[in-house]
Structure 1
């Protein structure tokens, strides 16, 4: 579905991504793990059309998407749930969801109901200003807003960041549910333990390079990954 070859991205003369190659098969969950500054968010932002690469290829469903603007990339079927949620604080939950459907020409009522089925708390708070929601509820809204575009591929940047452990479990259950419905997921997550447990395949990024890759559960058992990202107490 998504293929990246030899992608290089610079930020102000600094090489943030250094020629990475990766693949995201259709209906899979693929995760990128690594420390802050590894190039994970830069990779997603480049796919989304927010950052221009220095060189390399990005193809989606066989079509080159480098050079497309973000609106066209969303229209092709790729959405991004950004780090930090970034909901529209002064708009209601329902208004935020409707913004996510701005490219949809069909009646969006059924899509809203599907989001509410996935996130019952959003239905309860449909009238509430997004800025008054809890962190977990805002994350749910950010994911729901991205789903309103009916993506074939949804990219999530640190969806569990800053959330309480119980809410983190809820978020990962929702990630699995979205994937079961047929949506492909590319996931960035510092909680490597959680990410690798749900991922079909994973890549380990270090300072802009892919250092390791493999099936999620295989990486979860790799001693090098355990030492660097999981800690000796994680199980």
Structure 2
């Protein structure tokens, strides 16, 4: 469904992505793990058109989408939940969700999707008229995911969804990711919580200083000694 081929990105003299290739099959959860500065966020931001690539291609549903405006990609079903949530703090929960559907004209289905978001995140319904900036960190992350779902994504990309959240909320967020995926939405996940990410993933990649160094099923990488030592805090 989504395929990255030989993707390179430069920030001035820094070669942030060095010809990476990876595949995100339809209906799967794919995770990208790696240390800070490895290029994980750069990968997502390049796919969605926020960062310009030096070379390579991003194939979505058979077409090279590299260089297309972000708005066009969202309309095609490619959506990013950014790191740091980036909700609109001075707008209400309801208004944030409405903005998630800004490109849609199917009003009846939009209302159904709003109810679906409230089914996934009942807490958001309780706070529907509350300003988003007054929500807890976990609730803001729920809102960021809910807003993305309002655009009716085919591929949902998520950048560090568990960052700064309490362990009990992290577990809930990953349960929600699996539930979203079970409805047919493909997920590409960047996450520093390697254990949770690999446990959720059908397919996983390790990114180190701009290069893919390992790939396999989530289960295979969980059992890989190199991954266990570098990302799971386990000694040899």
Say whether the fold is shared (TM-score over 0.5). Answer: yes
Q: Unaligned stretches of 5+ in structure 1?
A: none
Question: Secondary structure of the equivalent of 1:137?
Answer: helix
Question: Secondary structure of the equivalent of 1:182?
Answer: coil
Question: Secondary structure of the equivalent of 1:128?
Answer: coil
TM superposition score normalised by structure 2: 0.98
Question: Secondary structure of the equivalent of 1:56?
Answer: strand
The equivalent of 1:24 in structure 2 is 24
The equivalent of 1:227 in structure 2 is 229
The equivalent of 1:85 in structure 2 is 85
The equivalent of 1:47 in structure 2 is 47
Q: Deviations over 1:108-128 (max 9, x none)?
A: 211110100110000000000
- Of residues 108, 115, 118, the one that matches 2:117 is 115
TM superposition score normalised by structure 1: 0.98
Deviation at 1:97, TM superposition (A): 0.3
| 1:70-219 equivalence runs, <5 A | 70-107=70-107, 108-219=110-221
Deviation at 1:88, TM superposition (A): 0.1
Pick which of 104-113 and 53-62 moved more. 104-113
Question: Secondary structure of the equivalent of 1:59?
Answer: strand
Equivalent-residue separation in structure 1 for 2:48 and 2:147 (angstroms): 16
Equivalent-residue separation in structure 2 for 1:98 and 1:12 (angstroms): 38
Equivalent-residue separation in structure 1 for 2:46 and 2:184 (angstroms): 24
Q: Deviations over 1:112-145 (max 9, x none)?
A: 1010011000000000000000000000000000
CA RMSD between the two structures: 0.7
| 1:50-69 equivalence runs, <5 A | 50-69=50-69
Number of aligned positions between the proteins: 233
Equivalent-residue separation in structure 2 for 1:201 and 1:13 (angstroms): 32
Equivalent-residue separation in structure 1 for 2:191 and 2:89 (angstroms): 24
Deviation at 1:214, TM superposition (A): 0.4
Deviation at 1:170, TM superposition (A): 0.3
Question: Secondary structure of the equivalent of 1:88?
Answer: coil
Equivalent-residue separation in structure 1 for 2:219 and 2:56 (angstroms): 29
